[in-house]
Amino acid sequence: MWESKLFTAVVVAAHSFIFGAAEARLVTIPSTPFSTRDGMYSLYQLKSIMYDKRYAQAVDDKGQTLIPETLEQFARTFQQDVATSLGINVPVVAGDEAAPHSIMMTLDTQTDFLDAAGRATAEGYRLVVHELGMTIAGASPLGVWWGTRTVLQAAVLGNKSIVHGQGVDAPGWAVRGLMIDGGRKFYPVGFVAEMCAYLSFFKQNTLQLHLSDNINNYPDRYSEERTLGLYSAFRLSSQDAAVAGLAQLRNESYSQAEFEWMQKQCVQRGVTLVPEIEAPGHALAIVKWRRRIALETDLSMLNISHPDMLPSLEAIWSVFLPWFQCKTVHIGADEYDDKLVPQYSHFVNSMATFIRQKSAKATRIWGTFTPRQGANVSRDVVVQHWSRRMGDALHDFVDEGYQVVNADNAFYAVGKWSSAYPPPLSKTLVFSGNPATGGSFSPNILDTADASRNAPRDSPSIQGHLAAFWNDWGPNGTTVLEAYRSVRDALPALADKQWGGDLTESEYDGIVDALRDAAPGHNLDRRIKSLTHVVVDYRFASAAEDGLIADTSGNGYHGRLQGQGCIVTAAALSLSGTCHMVTPLSSKGRDYTLSFSLKPAKPRRRSSLFSGPDSALIMEQDGRLAMLSDGQHYQLDPSYTLPTDHWTEVSLVAHGDQTFVKVSTHPHHVPRTMEFSTRLGVWGLKFIRAPMAFEAPLANIGLGFVGLIKDISLRASA
């Protein structure tokens, strides 16, 4: 039933589906211009995915990546996505003309694919659907790739059928996507790859990764000792002696192989990873590495006038520029001392010249000082506008001849809590962010409150738009999956506007959940397939000789014992501390209830009751409970300890953005409920308690635990 309702919504063509009607479109994300005619093509008829062998090794050389995928490579990834999202398995075939019941992927050198400024774009494509299949013809292989996203989405929403017709589609802007603050919160390589897959499904092509930063410094209140003790990080780790000691958090930084892997994973889906190394402000990690180049009035900044400052930055960039497989890099240049504007301009221009001469790459900076303030930054440097207090982007940058990436703080969120930029990103503002009309936002809108500060839609100075997610309070403020949740719902809506689509909010709300669930290449929601609301159920009625523990939920997620000393007895699992149980699962996202009964032996020992790749539920040696996530320790109510030598019923419950533990030593008693939270240090003035949302850890049960456990059950509800 739900599939037929979604199909009703998938094609909206202004009252009638007349072939050639100018207003006809597919309701996808972004919306797709598409003139329809009678008939549907069912992908159940599909026999192959074809790529034009004449262009098999063609690439898009006009985009931002230096390692673009070929047409053939995109075809093979598309084949995997068709299997994942639609459950349809067909071969990939090379050919010079479309075979019956194929999706033909080819290039179109005749059609004018134009952006909002009327310039040619290599990201455009033409889609034709007919009774014998379909053709996606792109201005480049990347354009073809975006066409495959349209096909997947339309098929998901149309019960694996797409209406006959044709359309020409192209992005209005070249830069579309998200920036994440990896300087104050480490994002593992797998998360970055999954995030790129999520962006790609909605035709966003940029993930900017902020690679160095620190918790805010307040030199008027902080001593040198306190400043140097603030959390800071530089996320690139090299064995090169020139940067020895720069990446102090080795387990939370990227090796060259890891960074190259992330870039490749992103490019496979049309997304370019744009690296940012922040200086001369927000540079405490660099100061800790080379104290002598600090600005003495604020140790989180670099002293541009120091003779070793530029050579130090050049040494850093010399090591890492070869890692970056992109045409533009970001040097930060945000929030510096406003008494040093001339020195700031010299720094930016010097670094931009160095980077261009060293690597032929372009440079991007945060909009910080304007020409009106005396800044004299080269017009070859792209300005990423983020705050109206840092200048009027139209009059101070666009009208002064700069290319601008719009990252205005209207679409800016700080993890977990902020008085100015609370999460999540605002979906409503996406559809009401044009101050001139009250209608939808678009990348040329540099100020959502003042229409006089906005560029024309066809301005050639606006390169595009990026949303931003910051971790101002440091690594304990959010988990990486909470960060995803903070941007998840608004990002696809922004994708529509960044591309140039025209979805209404009601149209968007009607399709986004189904599309998110079908997006290939990621499982950031940590979904688990289940026949019922009971996902897994271990009752320990018996154990097979090979150590198999039956899952009685009907889903077949059977566990297995590993190590020595595990015994199934009296419907419970006895654990010796040298054995544990493994499951085929990893993590379950919100909402859920993970319940079990536990009887720790005396003396207790620190153990991992449940663990997975995203989190672990820990019993400390004194019986207190804690969660570990992203290397951070979150203590439950310290007044509670698990008793020894008798049973306690425990439930780990995730509801929305909160996680609770419920405990009871008697089945007829009201359980005691406690909540996990984090403590945020805000502005160096106060602490704020905020809730934590943890995934259920499921991969391992009882690591290091001594005692009995039974009645393990996971339900997909709170």
Q: Can you name the residues that pair with 629 across neighbouring β-strands?
A: 632
Taking the C-alpha atoms of residue 411 and residue 385, their distance in angstroms, rounded to an integer, is: 12
Q: DSSP string covering 209-224, please?
A: EE-EEESPP-TTT--H
Taking the C-alpha atoms of residue 280 and residue 347, their distance in angstroms, rounded to an integer, is: 8
Contact residues for 339 (Cβ-Cβ < 8 A; gap 6+): none
Taking the C-alpha atoms of residue 526 and residue 517, their distance in angstroms, rounded to an integer, is: 10
Contact residues for 1 (Cβ-Cβ < 8 A; gap 6+): none
* Contact status, residue 695 vs residue 588, Cβ threshold 8 Å: yes
User: Cis before residue 435, ω within 30 degrees of 0?
Assistant: no
Taking the C-alpha atoms of residue 325 and residue 262, their distance in angstroms, rounded to an integer, is: 11
Q: Can you name the residues that pair with 414 across neighbouring β-strands?
A: 470
Q: DSSP string covering 90-147, please?
A: --EEEESSPPTTEEEEEE-SSS--B-TTS-B-TT-EEEEEETTEEEEEESSHHHHHHH
| Of 360, 355, 410, 406, residue with least CA distance to 384 | 406
Taking the C-alpha atoms of residue 478 and residue 13, their distance in angstroms, rounded to an integer, is: 42
| Of 283, 327, 329, residue with least CA distance to 306 | 283
Q: Which of 335, 482, 507, 620 is catalytic?
A: 335
335 part of the active site: yes
Q: In what order do the strands lie in the sheet with 11-12?
A: 11-12, 25-26, 32-33
Sign of CA pseudo-dihedral 285, 288, 289, 294: positive
Taking the C-alpha atoms of residue 86 and residue 13, their distance in angstroms, rounded to an integer, is: 25
- The residues annotated as belonging to the active site are 335
